[in-house]
Structure 1
Amino acid sequence: MRSFRSALAVGVLGLLPAVSIAQDAFLPWIVHAGAHEVSPQSNTGRLAGMRSSTSSDSRPTISLEYRFTPAWSVELLAALPFRHDVRLDGSKAVSVKQLPPVAGVNYRFMPDRVVSPFVGVGVNRTHFFSAHGENALEGARVDVGDTWGIAWHAGIDVALSERLVFTVDARRLDIDAKVKVDGTRVGTAHVDPWVYGFSFGYRF
């Protein structure tokens, strides 16, 4: 949502004065807690011959990261379930929840600096559940298949102290889910969302 991204930008600008804080020790573990928005691409393909679109949603997130060198780390991201509405030719037709845990590897370009950009790549496993039809599909049995895909990652860390870090990041997930209605496949939803967010991390 535009308001979510605007608030995120304001938060980053407010933290920029903290760049004078130095990091004096290497602490390999980081626990991050924050919030992210899953924003599917505007056109998610055709289902039952109709153009489909999927709504965005924001939820609290948490991740655990281990830096096996100052620059390289592995990370596991989890979240509360996201809820999306699927529209067919503009009319709401399906409501579904999903969990998109991501495991990946990150590389920090300036790990010894207070402000450090990073990039990463990983694997996304998306589990869809509690799907049900609405309006024209009211009472129909809707199944959205689970998916595996690549997850691209980039962001910026801002050290607030030796142990505290503020992170803004974005992920691009590959999510192509097969959709069935009453047991008949009606197409594939090419969700492929951007995931924007922020978190506060604690190093130990």
Structure 2
Amino acid sequence: MKLQSLVLAAATTLAMTSAFAVPAGTWTVGAGAHYVEPKSDNGTLAAGAYSVDVDSDIRPTITGEYFFADNIGVELLAAIPFHHDITLTDTTGATIDARTQHLPPTLSLQYHFDGYNMPMNVKPFVGVGVNYTTFFKERIYDGAGSDLKIKDSVGVAGHVGVDFPYSATEAFRIDARYMDIKPDVELNGADIGSVDISPWVYGVAFVKSF
């Protein structure tokens, strides 16, 4: 599924109404874990001298959502830092290792299909929003003591998921997000291009409503 499909689904469903809904004023808090899987081709750096490969990682996450209207909420995703190993491969096949950490707070406007009499009382939802990813503790092991800097990134984020309630205020959640993350990169203060990380992010969580 492409980001455009997620945005279209979010825009369409935000206009829908139902006879029963998550009431305005409800809060939910979710605690779980998310797996960040960068796209397979992360582009090149230094005018094509190096191809880039960024690996995946999983970390605990937390979400908070406030419903300002029936079935419509604003959610913030937060996490402890994700860690990624990076491999730079030159045209001869020689490699240089690097690594970074990042935090990807994401704010989303979401529509929940509550009250639609879904099978097994499942409650799907869709959302669209903005992701801000900040990178830190970058390292490059090129044997020259070089300084690697990955700039912060801002991009669109899409979100789909399903809640499986097992009490009136508790549910198990599975979800998937697409994040547009394309940070600029500097080496020893010089701009060497950008990295197209743009991951899919898959998660599970326990969600409690108040």
Q: Which runs of 4+ in 1 moved over 6 A?
A: none
C-alpha RMSD of the superposition: 1.9
The 8 Å contact of residues 126 and 161 in structure 2, kept in 1 or not, is answered as: yes
Q: TM-score, normalised by structure 1?
A: 0.83
SS in 2 for 1:176: coil
Which structure shows the higher helix fraction? 1
Summarize the alignment of residues 87-166 of structure 1 with structure 2, pairs less than 5 Å apart.
87-89=87-89, 91-111=95-115, 113=117, 114-134=121-141, 136=142, 139-166=145-172
Summarize the alignment of residues 9-48 of structure 1 with structure 2, pairs less than 5 Å apart.
26=23, 28-48=26-46
Alignment-derived partner of residue 52 in structure 1: 52
- C-alpha deviation, 1:118, in angstroms: 1.1
Deviations along 1:140-190, one digit per CA (max 9) or x if unpaired, are 100000010000000111111011011110000001111111111111001
Instruction: Quote the Cα distance in structure 1 between the aligned partners of 2:22 and 2:159.
Output: 25
Q: Which amino acid aligns with 2:37?
A: S
Instruction: Quote the Cα distance in structure 2 between the aligned partners of 1:24 and 1:46.
Output: 47
**Identity over aligned residues, as a percent?**
41
Unaligned runs of at least 5 residues, structure 1: 1-22
Instruction: Quote the Cα distance in structure 2 between the aligned partners of 1:83 and 1:68.
Output: 34
The 8 Å contact of residues 85 and 92 in structure 1, kept in 2 or not, is answered as: no
Q: Which amino acid aligns with 1:200?
A: F
Q: Structure 1 161/24 Cα, relative in aligned 2: closer, same or farther at 3 Å?
A: farther
Instruction: Quote the Cα distance in structure 2 between the aligned partners of 1:50 and 1:92.
Output: 9
Unaligned runs of at least 5 residues, structure 2: 1-19
